[in-house]
Amino acid sequence: MRRIIVIDGSLDIDSPALKYAKKASKVSDTEIAWLFLAPTEEGTQSKKIEEHLNLVRQKLEHEGVGFSSYIVAPKPLEFMNKINSLTPANLVLIGDVTFSNEMKKGGVSIESLKEKISCPIANAGTIEAAHARKSSGKEINWGKFLLYFTGSAAIYGLFFPKIAMLNEKLFMSRSVAGALAIIGIIIVHAWVWGNTTHDLPKLFKLEK
């Protein structure tokens, strides 16, 4: 089953986690499975949550998004059992939820979930913050890239062929000057080539 698991404890029908899950679900043709963390034995509160989840279900189904919901007690074993029954999933989206000390002691935290679940885990708050950032900050600075690229080309194209000759005269002459020259060149080269390659993941769209 293709699904997005939402872990949320908010009664807000426009909660960030739900908004993003809905958007992601529409483009990826996945259903939403909502894990609502709340004590299951509190009658009035439980009824209120069920009403809220029904309302959400109606709204989402009206928009053509598959939806299922589960009220889960904030206990590590119950929570992990439910997660295990819903995985594999395509995405886990964490919304307005705080893992209690009991859950943390039982090994439930965002970090441990990342270790146990193979799909991407995203935080709705982080996505919202990233969304608010201006798109210009995400792009490659082509001017800077070109500058460093030119520097790298010069190092490999012009300097590299001369190293054999310079080794005898300076770099491998067993002198303090030669040793210092090597260190200086490494610093400059690591900086120039490092900055040239820094944006490669962005070029391959592996990073924002």
Partner 1 sequence: MVDAHVIDSVKIVTQIFDANPWYMLGMVLLGFIGGTISGFIGSGGAFLMTPGMMNLGIPGVIAVSSNIAHKFGKAMMGSKKHGELGNVDKKMGFYLLVTAAIGINAAVYVNKFFFEKMGKDGSDLYVSAFFIIMLSIIGTFMLKDALRSKRQPGTGPTDKLLKLSKKFQFKPMIHFKVANVDISLSAILIVGFGIGYMAGTIGVGGFIGVPAMIYLFGVPTVIAAGTELFLAMFTGAWGTFNYALHGYVDLRLVLLLYLGSLPGLYFGAVATKVVKELYIRMVTAILILLCVISRILAVPGNCKNLNMIDISKENIAMLETGSRIFLFGSGLVATFLIIYWTFSAKAKENKAAAALRYSGSVE
Give yes or no for residue 126 binding partner 1 (CB under 8 A): no
Interface residue with partner 1 among 23, 58, 123, 133 (CB under 8 A) is 23
Supply 64's token pair: 């053509």
Instruction: Report how far apart, in Å, the C-alpha atoms of 120 and of each of 37, 110, 140, 153, 154 are.
Output: 20, 11, 25, 37, 40
d(CA 107, CA 64): 36
Site size with partner 1, rule: CB under 8 A: 58
CB of 98 to partner 1, least distance (A): 19
Say whether residue 151 binds partner 1 (CB under 8 A): no
CA atoms of 25 and 43, how far apart (whole Å): 32
Q: Where are the beta strands (DSSP E) in 19-127?
A: 31-37, 67-72, 91-94, 121-123
3-state DSSP assignment of residue 146: helix
- Per-residue binding string, partner 1, 73-112, x by CB under 8 A, is -----------------xx---------------x----x
Describe the strand order of the beta sheet including 91-94 as a list of residue ranges.
Answer: 67-72, 31-37, 3-8, 91-94, 121-123
Pattern of binders to partner 1 over 175-204, x per CB under 8 A?
xx-xxx-xx-xxx-xxx-xx--xx-xx---
2 vs 47 by CB, closer to partner 1: 2
Contact set with partner 1 (CB under 8 A): 4, 19-20, 22-24, 26-28, 30, 90-91, 107, 112, 114-116, 118-120, 122, 127, 131, 155-156, 160, 163-164, 166-168, 171-176, 178-180, 182-183, 185-187, 189-191, 193-194, 197-198, 200-201, 205-208
